[in-house]
Every structure is written in structure tokens, then in C-alpha cells.
Structure 1
């Protein structure tokens, strides 16, 4: 699913066997108690996935923020409410872990994703910047 769109197809590599970098990342994520990988199955088929990261930090009186990333819904399952269910779960899970906010980034090349996130109550509150290394 990571390569199931134009951006993912340009940056991901799913030749078999998978590059060891994917396996190393998976192992590091599963060992970190502040990381959660979630898959959604329907009829024994993986149809969606996302990653939640819980970030403790000093501002907001030493609070925790949650970040959702790598949200993917298999293309033939989109438009059926699954994305909304994923975010409802992620919001509740973030509250359960004591996070005071749930944040995300969305690529400017995906305007439809931004509209979806806004429909869920997310607001465009900051200007994000990246430095690729």
C-alpha cells in the first residue's frame, strides 16, 4: 500500500526480497514503546495501515503529542468510511495514551488528503518544513 499512489511509487522499493532497510525499520519500530503500527484486516486481507508515534516533550507543561503517519487504505476500499474509522481509533488511542494533540503532515501534492483531514477536524495551524538528508 505504501507504493499504491504516485508519490509512493516514486520513493518506495518493493522488489522481492524486500530491501533490508524495511525490515530494520520494522524491527526498530516494534521495539520502541512509543511507536504503534496498526493494520486493518477485512476477510483476512490487509486493507489499511497506519503508524502512531507518541512524543513526550517539554512544552505544554511536559506533555505528550501523538503523530499519525503512513496512513494507507487500499485503493478499492476507499470511500467506504474506513479512513474515518481509522482516525476515530487513532484519536481515542492518543487520548488513552495521554496525548494532548494528534498531529500529521500531508504532502502538498495530495490535496484530496488534506480535505479529508480537515473534514475530521484537523486544522492547518503551522507551516511545516523539511530538510532531506
Structure 2
């Protein structure tokens, strides 16, 4: 898989990124590919924030994977910097070929480069295959996560 490039996302990548976000039962129910303005505004906020890295995996000039890495300075754990991996997606044509592992390994290395002492992520309770994947990569399911949906501002 030597032809893989992991790079910062650019606005032109948005259609491919949104398509990957929507390409599963959970994403299909919560994404709106027909509303590109929502994603453009979000991309602009992400791009303007130095603690965010929206990564794109590209192979042969085609976007085949993505994740978002957020750096969070904190007081807990003696002031440990942590990173959060979010929205990991792999194009259907690449699944089962090791790209997810490469993306997570890149994110862990980038976390170290950013001075993080802890890498964390959440995964929807129904994504049991993803849970096995993250455990295989050394992640421990040590916490229970909670979310509160807030009404749309639209």
C-alpha cells in the first residue's frame, strides 16, 4: 500500500468525504449529502482551528479514507494533552485491505508529534466490528460515553 498519501483535506474533497460519511446505515440516517452548504461551513470552521486536522487518505488521486483528529490541551492527568479521533471512514472499495489500520496508525503517530499523551475515540454502540478493530489496535474500552443531541439551529 505504498502509494497511499495522507494529507490535510481541502474543500474539493468534500463530496467524497460526505459520501463516505453517508455510506452506512447510521450515516445514511444522519447525513445530508443534498445540503453541501452545511459541510462547507463545517469545513471552514475546522480548517480555521489549529487544533483540528481533517485528514484525507488518497490513493491514485482518489479520496479513499478520512478521519478528524482533534488536539485538546487539558489539566487532568497532570496536564496531559490528548487527541480525539473522530469520523473514521474508509471507502467501500478499500475496506478489508488495511487502510483503516494505516489511518489509525497515522493518527497515533500524529498525536505523538503533537505532544499528546493520550489518544481517545468513541464509536457508536452498534458498531461491533469497529470495536473489535480498535481493540486489535490496542485501544481499551475503558469508559462509558454519553451524548446529548441539541436542536438544530437551522
- Which range, TM-score by smaller chain? over 0.9
1:11 is aligned, of 30, 35, 57, to: 30
SS of the equivalent of 1:71 reads strand
Residues in 2 aligned to 1:29 and 1:115: alpha-carbon distance in whole angstroms: 29
- 1:17-96 equivalences in 2 (<5 Å): 18=36, 20-96=37-113
RMSD (CA atoms): 0.9
Query: What is the TM-score when the length of structure 2 is the normalising length?
Result: 0.83
Gaps of 5+ in 1: none
Gaps of 5+ in 2: 1-19
Residues in 2 aligned to 1:100 and 1:109: alpha-carbon distance in whole angstroms: 28
Query: What is the TM-score when the length of structure 1 is the normalising length?
Result: 0.95
Residues in 2 aligned to 1:111 and 1:63: alpha-carbon distance in whole angstroms: 29
CA contact (8 A) 2:80 2:118 kept: no
